[in-house]
């Protein structure tokens, strides 16, 4: 199934099923008012949604609408828990190398993870606010999973059964605020503003053999001002898979249904496939030449993040955002 949330003035929006080809949609408020409620009642709700999904794809329902140009929230407009990992350790090693910092060996065996702000996400076509160009605004193209309830101390094997939905992410970052925050010995806060997610979240069966139960084996495309920026494969060089990230997050706490776990910036050791964030490209430039030539995001820049199946069909729809200068007091 493919699920989206349409903007309706309420904080959690209205839940819609979207056809496999992303062309049509139907409101399923009679089954679940919003996605969070659906996730909390998944065993009961899923069969009903699946029946509607089959009818939607067969054009056998009334009240079907065109999905294009619908006003979209992220599939979950807000979440009780948004935790982002750094599963591509190659990316972490590269960034540290560029600033002359040796990477501890533990980074290869113990996942990094930060707790993001889940109270308000950007929609997939919402503008990215630029409050101060000196803060170093960046995009980060990622994959994420949305879970059922997860028990504290869950095993990696059991964690794989908690994955209900998969989606794409633009984890917006303010790079120049990060060093001072981390130097205080705590973690990200100001440097991680609102995140955006793809138009739809999909059940794992929508991905066919590209999903192996732990990783998604397809290229993740990023476009910066309409030019291809990177297309690393999300299943390649992923040191920690999603069940491992979920188990890590649940080491000392339970996770409630609707928890979102991100992969971190998708990155491959093969540099010919490009990058999924500006910071990585800047570090490669510095390592190669000693100079950085790629600027961070500026007013008017555009970002597009998308993943295609093996036939070239968009799976999640595209995150398409424009950077817009805003008054920081708003």
pLDDT single digits (tens) 95-138? 777 656 778 888 888 999 999 999 999 999 999 999 999 999 99
Chain center to CA of 178: 20
pTM for this entry: 0.96
> How confident is the prediction for the chain on average, in pLDDT?
95
Structure tokens at 166: 């998969």
Predicted local distance difference test score (pLDDT) of residue 327: 73
Q: List all residues 6 or more positions away from 137 whose beta carbon is below 8 Å from its beta carbon.
A: 128, 130, 172, 173, 174, 175, 296, 297, 298, 323
Three-state secondary structure call for residue 231 = coil
- C-alpha–C-alpha distance, residues 173 and 279, integer Å: 10
pLDDT in tens, 189-242: 999 999 999 999 999 999 999 999 999 999 999 999 999 999 999 999 999 999
pLDDT in tens, 266-276: 999 999 999 99
The larger pLDDT score, comparing residue 147 to residue 104, is at 147
The larger pLDDT score, comparing residue 290 to residue 322, is at 322
* DSSP secondary structure, 246-283, as one string: HHHHTSSS-B-TT-EEE--S---S-GGGB-SBHHHHHH
Average pLDDT over residues 44-59: 98
15 pLDDT above the threshold of 70: yes
Cα four-point dihedral sign 122, 123, 127, 128: positive
Structure tokens at 113: 């993870």
Average pLDDT over residues 44-63: 97
Average pLDDT over residues 64-79: 97
179 pLDDT above the threshold of 90: no
Predicted local distance difference test score (pLDDT) of residue 330: 47
């Amino acid at each position: 199934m493919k699920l989206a949330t349409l903007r309706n003035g309420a904080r959690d929006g209205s839940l819609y099923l979207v056809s496999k080809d992303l062309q049509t949609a139907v409101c399923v408020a009679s089954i679940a008012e919003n996605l969070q409620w659906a996730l909390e009642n998944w065993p009961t709700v899923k069969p009903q949604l699946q029946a509607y999904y089959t009818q939607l794809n067969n054009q056998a329902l009334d009240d079907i609408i065109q999905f294009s140009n619908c006003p979209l929230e992220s599939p979950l407009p807000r979440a009780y828990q948004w935790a982002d990992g750094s599963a591509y350790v190659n990316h972490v090693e590269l960034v540290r190398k560029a600033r002359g910092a040796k990477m501890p060996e533990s980074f290869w065996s113990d996942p990094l993870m930060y707790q993001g702000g889940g109270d308000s996400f950007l929609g997939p076509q919402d503008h990215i606010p630029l409050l101060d160009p000196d803060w170093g605004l960046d995009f980060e193209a990622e994959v994420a999973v949305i879970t059922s309830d997860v028990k504290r101390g869950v095993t990696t094997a059991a964690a794989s059964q908690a994955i209900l939905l998969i989606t794409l992410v633009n984890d917006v970052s303010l790079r120049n605020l990060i060093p001072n925050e981390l130097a205080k010995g705590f973690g990200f806060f100001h440097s991680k503003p609102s995140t955006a997610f793809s138009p739809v979240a999909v059940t794992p069966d929508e991905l066919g053999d590209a999903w192996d139960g732990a990783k998604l084996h397809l290229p993740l495309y990023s476009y910066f001002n309409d030019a291809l920026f990177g297309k690393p494969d999300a299943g390649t060089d992923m040191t920690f898979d999603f069940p491992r990230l979920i188990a890590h997050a649940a080491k000392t706490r339970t996770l409630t249904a609707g928890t979102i776990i991100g992969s971190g910036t998708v990155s491959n050791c093969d540099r010919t496939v490009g990058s999924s964030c500006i910071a990585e490209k800047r570090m490669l430039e510095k390592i190669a030449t000693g100079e950085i030539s790629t600027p961070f995001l500026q007013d008017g820049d555009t970002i597009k993040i998308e993943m295609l199946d093996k036939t070239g069909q968009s799976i999640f729809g595209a995150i398409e955002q424009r950077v817009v200068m805003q008054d920081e007091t708003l």
